[in-house]
Structures are given as structure tokens and as C-alpha cells.
Amino acid sequence: MTVHTDYYELLGVERGADERTIKAAYRRLAMECHPDRHGGCTEKEAKFKQLNEAYDCLKDPQKRAAYDRFGHAAFEQGGFGAAGAGAGPDFSDIFSSIFGEFMDPRGARQNAARGADLRYDLELTLEEAFAGKSATIDIETMAPCEPCEGDGARGSAVPETCKTCNGAGKVRAQQGFFVVERGCPTCYGHGVTIADPCPVCQGEGRTLKRRTLTIQIPAGVDEGTRIRVAGEGEAGVRGAPGGDLYLFVHLKRHALYEREGTTLIAECPVSFTTAALGGAITVPGIDGEAIEVKIPAGIQSGETLRLRGKGMAVLSGRGRGDMVARILVETPTRLSAKQKELLCQFRETETGEECPATKSFFSRIKDALG
């Protein structure tokens, strides 16, 4: 007499457990006992087959009802589901349960009929990237057919489950030791057939339309930022899930700022008198407010001044980056006679100590020449 382990006890769930609980328990135990993880251990392989047998029964409402009433006797001696119980584990069901719709023929059919993803290149100014904006875009894409409401059938006609593949969208063929899957030749992978197709969409359930979408662009986006808008791509075939829309952000060149992450860099020319004596300049901030940049006396061309919290907004975060002012000391090219005279007087008073870098340079030249 064969002794059977109670299916509920095997999966570690209560008899009244719902489908989700049973599925979660099976996934966990099946992954733990999978033979590939234990070097082909026969004990683990046997346990793995038992788990699959238990889940195969409890996931099916009719089989579960029979099991709850008659126990294992429901599947013995030609009872309900005997062929399935004696045929050994169905590995497509095993991997479907572990990995979800990725390995499920029905999931594969839905993915095959799923609408295509779309790409849209969106150009923004640096100010728009800083503050974020509500962008309105127009796209021409496949959308659900209105006359047939997306199911592809004319009027009151309804799609019928394909009799060749029983709605799976795929058929299997045995070739030696291998089982080969291919798209169903009758329904072309859709799982349903339509005897009277919609004349507008020719039974596809979708037509080409121009759509207007309003999409919220978050503050702080950068060049190349990708924004995914779920379900706004092409409509799927005959009601299958739609694709996604991907927005790729491109930034226009700014008149003042260059961007490096959250840091804004501005090249700021100053007169040589301001550089020598010190002073201040005003720069327009990316947020529209004026920024005062204080110039210390004696600053050299190419030196930078950092202003904290005056840069770009942080994407999906709080706060702002910094603004960096790169100082460019400009030598005057148009001098009046009075200005030339004053500069000549200044030159006559120079001792060499005013410009230590220049003095050091010529000293090194003198040493090099001996």
C-alpha cells in the first residue's frame, strides 16, 4: 500500500489557504529543493517531484475540490486527473510557477501580442530641466480600435478560443527526446480566432491614431535622462497589454551655464582693475534670481569661486548643487590717452613684488641661462 504525504502538509499551508499563499509556499520550497541546486541529489529530486505533484493539484480548483473530498483516492484507479497524476512532473508548469508568466505559455502569448515600446526625444531648456515642467507631446501610434473596442471582432461577434492550441498561442511537437514549441499556425500566436473580423482594424483590434499626452517632467533631469510612462506605447493586439513610452531628455545649449551633474559652471569675465582691487559682479541665477559674486582682490584668471546651493535641483531628491564662477581676467584693448598715461605712471612705480608669479618666472629663466 502506497503511503501519500498530505499535499497541504507537504507545502506547509493550511487547508483553507488561498491560491496566493499556496503559490508562494510552492515557489519557496521548489527553489530550495531544485535538483540543479543540489548536484542531482536523488532525495531532493524526489521531494521536488512531490512538491510539483502537490501544487499541480492544489492550484487547479476542480482537482483541489476532488482532493479535499476524496484525498489521494481521487487520482487513483482511473479517478479524476489520474492521467495527469501518473504522467510525472510537467516541467513547463514547474518553471511557470517558479518564474511566473515569463515561462507560462499564456504569458508568452500575451507578451507576443503586447504592443511595442515607443521612444520620444524631448528637448528642454536648462531652466525647464531645473524647475521641471508639464510637457504636452503628440505621438502617432497604434491605439485600440473604437468600433470593436479592441477585441478585433465585428459588432456583437466575439473572439473564440483557438481549438488548435486551446488558447495557449503555441503548440508542442515531440522530436526524439526534445519537445519543440512553436507559434500556433491557426491563430498565429494570439490564442483566439475571429470568424467575423472588424472591417476597420481587420481583426487586429487596433488602428493608427494621433494622440496627445501630458507628462510631468521632474525637476533636475539631465541630458540622456530616460522617463518611462507605463502603458502609453503601442496598443496590444486584440486587447493584449500595451507597450511603454520612453522619453529621452535632451538639453539645449545655455547662453551662460555649462552643466556637470548638479553643478553649474559660468565663465565670468572681469576687468583687470576689478581683479586687482576686488569688487563684485552680478550673475543671473538658473532660478531667475540675481546672484552676487564677490571678487577678492588679487584674483588670477582661471581661478574659480564656488557658491553653495545655487546650482541645479537634485533629481528625485532634495536640495541643489553648487554654482561655480570661473574668473577670466580681461586685458583692456581700447585705452584712452588718459588711461595710457595712468598705466605708464603705474608701471614706473612697479618693484616686481606686485606680481610674484612673474618675478619667479624671470628668476627661473635667469638661473637657467647662468
- List residues bridging with 313 in a β-sheet: 320
Alpha carbons 51 and 321: distance in angstroms, whole number: 55
Cell numbers at 91, concatenated: 516541467
The verdict on whether residue 41 carries a ligand-binding annotation is no
Check whether 187 is labelled as a binding-site residue. yes
Q: Are strands 245-251 and 118-124 parallel, antiparallel or unpaired?
A: parallel
Helix (H) or strand (E) holding 265: strand 263-271
134, β-bridge pairs: 216
DSSP 54: H
114 Cα distance to chain centroid: 17
280 phi-psi bin (left φ>0, alpha ψ -120 to 50, beta other): beta
How many angstroms separate the CA atoms of 93 and 87, rounded? 13
Q: Which three cell numbers stand for residue 43?
A: 532525495
Find out whether 201 is annotated in a ligand binding site.
yes
Spatial CB neighbours of 78, under 8 Å, sequence gap ≥ 6: none
Burial string for 247-264 (b: 16+ CB within 10 Å, else e) reads: bebebeeeeebebeebbb
Q: Is 198 annotated as a binding residue?
A: yes
Give Cα separations from 142 to 188, 193, 197, 235, 283 (angstroms).
19, 21, 18, 6, 48
Rounded Cα distance, 351 and 145, in Å: 87
Rounded CA-CA distance 191/170 in Å is: 8
- Residue 320 DSSP one-character state: B
Q: Which residues are annotated as a binding site?
A: 145, 148, 162, 165, 184, 187, 198, 201
Q: Which residues are annotated as a binding site for Zn(2+)?
A: 145, 148, 162, 165, 184, 187, 198, 201
